[in-house]
Structure 1
Amino acid sequence: MIFLLLSILFSTGLFVIFKFFGIYKIDVLKAIVVNYIVAFTMGFLLAERQIPIHKIYLEPWFFGALFLGAMFVSVFFVMAMTAQKNGVSVTSIAGKMSVVIPVFFGIILYKESVSFLKISGILFALVAVYLSSVNEEKNTKNGTLLFPILLFLGSGIIDTVLKFVQTNYVDDRDVSIFSGSLFGIAAIFGLIILGIKTLKKPEKFGYKNILAGVALGVPNYFSIIFLIKALQIKNFESSTLFTINNVAIVIVSTLVGLLFFKEKFSNKNKIGVVLAVLGIILVTIA
């Protein structure tokens, strides 16, 4: 259970850091690239079993890491945009209510339990995503709803594929190097995008973007490591683990947004938060 607790704490830290990106005018793409380089380095330095980098492609989990690396870059960018435009609490809810996606696939692929309570919880969560993401003070044409929806879908796909690859292809000793590899792949994709952007409009990298990337990379690495280690716990259904993980992150992130960033909630947002927690509780009890 300690792995699950640590994953919750480090994941919550990501949302808070992204909020500061907007406050300090951090270049999101540059910081994300640095973040992945840091996480990649940590993965290989802390690995229990060393594998030469040039032989990584021979590992059974390589193509899963390749897909996840590409998804990580996309979802992290969307997460940063959501935190800046919609707030920390909305970002955590949109991202973490995506638990309905891995829960659904857990039921289909791994024959995990299904009941009226679990289905009801999933429906509550879907409604909560919309209500908690509505910002009545902004024009939805400017992407107020777009980023939360993209974050919801992307996060769900990542959790689902991560569980599938971890279950079928990743040895317990390779958790760190697997994580480091997908971070490295994400860094490569990010560098390509950044290179294209720089060719069109050359500009300095900036020390603050490097520092922001380092600050993001450390908790990002540990959030994935501890989540995978929690998934390795036997006799613990992934649908239950994901729901506990996600509701805790929602609650903690919401409290942080309200207490430290003075974020304001409309009545719809408040209802969304309540439904989010209720939905997750129903799934967990089921």
Structure 2
Amino acid sequence: MIYLLLSILASTFIFLIFKLFDRFKVNTLQAIVFNYIVACLCGIVTYCKPIDITEITQEKWFFGAIALGFLFIFIFNVMAITAQQNGISVASVATKMSVIIPVFFGIYMYGESTGIQKIIGILLALLAVYFVSIKPNSNIHLKNSILLPFILFLGSGIIDTSIKYLETTYVSENGIPIFSATIFCFAACIGLCILLYKTLKKEFKFNPQSLIGGTVLGIVNYVSIYYILKALDNDSIESSTIFTVNNVAIVMLSSLVGLILFKEKLSIKNWIGVSFAIISILLVTLS
């Protein structure tokens, strides 16, 4: 459970870092690319064995890591476009409600428990995500299409499900650092290609703050992925429990951090969501 707690704290800290980007005028895209480079280096540094490129390319999880690298960048961009066109609340709800995909995958693929207490907890978790994500003076609106939110929902769920499947099926006990590093490496490569394209179109201007912001974000991002993988590696806790508690706790803590540090206002619906989050965590954890 300590690994899950550390992953939740790191993921919540990512929210804090993004909030500070605006204050320090950090270019988000550049910071994201630098973040993937730093996260990759973190995985390499923490890997206990000598790096053998040939050996890595022969790992059964290698092509899955490449696909995840593409998904990381793609879904990030979809998230940004969804926030711009449909609103931040829609992007937040679509991302976090995608937890239902790995939860059902765990129940179907690994025969995880489906007691009434756990089902109620999962349903409350979804309600918690919805209510907490509705910020004051913001309306959830889908405009003319639900395509982008649906892609974001599906993509986020596929990422979580794929990470669980690859970690369970192919990643060795000591292979989490290099597995994570490989995912981040390919995400970084794609990000660098995007920056190169912008450079050729003369749309790129280096932002020094992004290097610092990306470095901090990369370390925290690696920690969040590393510890969620360590939590999933624990056979005593079901993945459906881990993903439910992880997602709803991040939403709840992020809202409380916004309230305490940034003086963000929480509506009655937000507080109802926080209450649902606490109850759902207790129900799912104790089921």
TM-score bin (small chain): 0.7 to 0.9
Whether contact under 8 Å (1:44, 1:50) holds in the other structure is no
- Residue 233 (structure 2) aligns with: 232
After TM superposition, the structure 1 stretch with the greater mean CA deviation from structure 2, 178-187 or 125-134, is: 125-134
Whether contact under 8 Å (1:35, 1:215) holds in the other structure is yes
Whether contact under 8 Å (1:99, 1:243) holds in the other structure is yes
Whether contact under 8 Å (1:49, 1:173) holds in the other structure is no
Q: 1:129 to 1:244 in 2, by over 3 A?
A: closer
Percentage of pairs with the same residue:
53
- Residue 286 (structure 2) aligns with: 285
- Residue 260 (structure 1) aligns with: 261
Whether contact under 8 Å (2:129, 2:248) holds in the other structure is no
| TM-score with structure 1 setting the length | 0.85
Deviations 1:36-90 (A, max 9, x none): 0011111112212233235432210011111211122234456678899748xx9
Whether contact under 8 Å (1:128, 1:273) holds in the other structure is yes
Distance 1:4 1:97 in 2: 19
Q: 1:83 to 1:19 in 2, by over 3 A?
A: farther
Equivalenced residue count is 283
Q: Residue type matched to 2:189 in 1?
A: I
Whether contact under 8 Å (2:245, 2:284) holds in the other structure is no
Q: Does 1:132 align with 2:103?
A: no
Alignment of structure 1 residues 66-85 onto 2, 5 Å: 66-77=66-77
Distance 2:244 2:69 in 1: 23
- Residue 50 (structure 2) aligns with: 50
- Residue 173 (structure 2) aligns with: 172
- Residue 100 (structure 2) aligns with: 100
Q: Does 1:188 align with 2:189?
A: yes
Instruction: State the secondary structure of the residue aligned to 1:204.
Output: coil
Deviations 1:158-179 (A, max 9, x none): 2211110000000112110111
Q: 1:234 to 1:264 in 2, by over 3 A?
A: same
Distance 2:132 2:149 in 1: 9
Distance 1:279 1:232 in 2: 23
- Residue 27 (structure 1) aligns with: 27
After TM superposition, the structure 1 stretch with the greater mean CA deviation from structure 2, 225-234 or 271-280, is: 271-280
Residue 212 of structure 1: how far off its partner (Å) = 0.9
- Residue 210 (structure 2) aligns with: 209
Distance 2:175 2:245 in 1: 25
Q: Residue type matched to 1:17 in 2?
A: I
Unmatched segments (≥5 aa) in structure 1: none
Q: 1:23 to 1:147 in 2, by over 3 A?
A: farther
Q: Residue type matched to 1:248 in 2?
A: A
- Residue 248 (structure 1) aligns with: 249
Instruction: State the secondary structure of the residue aligned to 2:11.
Output: helix
After TM superposition, the structure 1 stretch with the greater mean CA deviation from structure 2, 149-158 or 27-36, is: 149-158
Whether contact under 8 Å (1:19, 1:80) holds in the other structure is no
Whether contact under 8 Å (2:127, 2:276) holds in the other structure is yes
Q: 1:199 to 1:268 in 2, by over 3 A?
A: farther
Q: 1:180 to 1:78 in 2, by over 3 A?
A: same
Residue 190 of structure 1: how far off its partner (Å) = 1.2
Say what the alpha-carbon RMSD is for the aligned residues: 3.0
Residue 233 of structure 1: how far off its partner (Å) = 1.6
Whether contact under 8 Å (1:69, 1:186) holds in the other structure is yes
Whether contact under 8 Å (1:26, 1:208) holds in the other structure is yes
After TM superposition, the structure 1 stretch with the greater mean CA deviation from structure 2, 182-191 or 193-202, is: 193-202
Q: Residue type matched to 1:260 in 2?
A: L
Deviations 1:67-118 (A, max 9, x none): 211122234456678899748xx98776444332211110000000012222
Distance 2:99 2:232 in 1: 14
Unmatched segments (≥5 aa) in structure 2: none
Whether contact under 8 Å (2:69, 2:185) holds in the other structure is yes
Distance 2:199 2:77 in 1: 17
| TM-score with structure 2 setting the length | 0.85
Distance 2:196 2:210 in 1: 16
